[in-house]
Amino acid sequence: MSVPAAFLGVIIIWSTTPVAIQWSSEGWGFLSGVTGRMILGALFCLLLLKVFGDELHWHKSARRAYFTAAVGIYGAMIAVYWGAQYIPSGLISVLFGLSPIITAFMATVWLQENSLSIAKIFGAILGLAGISVIFLADPINNNFAWQGVAAILVAVVVQCASGVWIKRISSDLSGLALTTGALLLAVPMFIITWLLFGEHVFHHVTLRAIASLVYLGIIGSVIGFTLYFYVLKHVQASKVALITLMTPVSALFIGQGFNGEHITTNVWWGTAVILGALAIHQWGDRVFCRAD
């Protein structure tokens, strides 16, 4: 596979996922959308295991990794799908761009990694400033939009915590096996939640909702992660970080162009501050070292 093509594929998939999340909930509620996505993703993962001859391991560390990933998927996706009802889709991608900064703090505490420096701490503070600017945006002050932003931030923290904890477990599972095992454990959680709180009678389910669900279940969940791990294996980490700098901007434009979302000036300014924070977090140490 061409590495540039895989890199571009990740950017496209991650940029279109937020708006697809909103579309997939049309007519049957966000719980139906996320539950259907996870079921479809689990089935497709099982098919890929057969195709590639991979297998699921059930030793102790594997079970711990599956459970940790499943809790992360469940907690993060429930929060994302709920929050996506109240904020522009592009803003979801912007807030998820903070993942490297949050992960660095968690890795320092849980993995004893030397992940923090003056540049990274400054980047984190700047990221908080960007969030503050976004909270001042006009749409965020109306209705439940501020709760939507809070829900996405919860999802980011849950996903980062799950990823760091999986690394601490240090299992030897392949990316496909880990994803499959996690989805098999997470799907019952989603089904139970849907049975308790979901819409059991569907009204006006659109073709766009069904197509978005299929897109998220196969392209967004499985192929997206496969391409990402492929890029991560063949490209320097510093270049992979460019994905988190590019997808927020492209997601905002996609939401504006295809979903008719109005992006206020404050949101654009907040996005610019967050992207600057990510750049400082990723490359600030090199600049300071050259200055010395």
Query: In this predicted structure, what is the pLDDT of residue 144?
Result: 54
pLDDT value of residue 115? 62
Angle between helix 89-96 and helix 265-291 axes, rounded to 10 deg: 20
Distance between CA atoms of residues 292 and 290, nearest Å: 5
Cβ pair 20, 197 in contact under 8 A: no
Phi, psi at 28, each rounded to 5°: -140, 10
How many Å separate Cα 22 from the centre of its chain? 14
The range of the structural domain enclosing residue 281 comes to: 3-291
Nearest of 146, 164, 25, 155 to residue 96 by alpha carbon:
155
Burial pattern 58-80, b for ≥16 Cβ within 10 A else e, equals: eeeebeebbbbbbbbbbbbbbbb
pTM: 0.86
- What is the C-alpha separation between 263 and 269, in angstroms, rounded? 10
Give CA–CA dist 227/7, Å, rounded: 7
Q: Is the dihedral of CA 71, 74, 76, 82 positive or negative?
A: negative
Instruction: Give the separation between CA 216 and CA 38, rounded to whole angstroms.
Output: 9
- Give dist(CA 84, CA 26) in Å, integer: 12
CA–CA separation, 83 and 145 (whole Å): 8
User: What is the reported pLDDT for 241?
Assistant: 64
The predicted pLDDT at position 288 comes to 60
Q: What is the pLDDT of residue 185?
A: 96
Whether residue 81 contacts residue 31, with contact meaning beta carbons closer than 8 Å, is answered with: yes
Tens of pLDDT along the chain (292 residues) come to 688 888 899 899 989 999 999 999 888 889 999 999 999 999 999 999 999 888 888 988 899 989 999 999 999 999 999 999 988 888 898 888 888 888 888 888 887 776 677 888 888 888 888 888 877 765 555 555 788 889 999 999 998 898 888 888 877 888 788 889 999 999 999 999 999 998 777 778 889 999 999 999 999 888 887 787 677 677 765 566 678 778 888 999 999 999 888 888 888 888 899 888 888 887 777 766 665 5
Give, in order, the Cα–Cα distances in Å from 66 to each of 41, 71, 83, 179. Answer: 15, 9, 25, 8
In the chain, the number of structural domains is 1
The one-character DSSP state at 245 is H
CA 87 remoteness from chain centre: 16
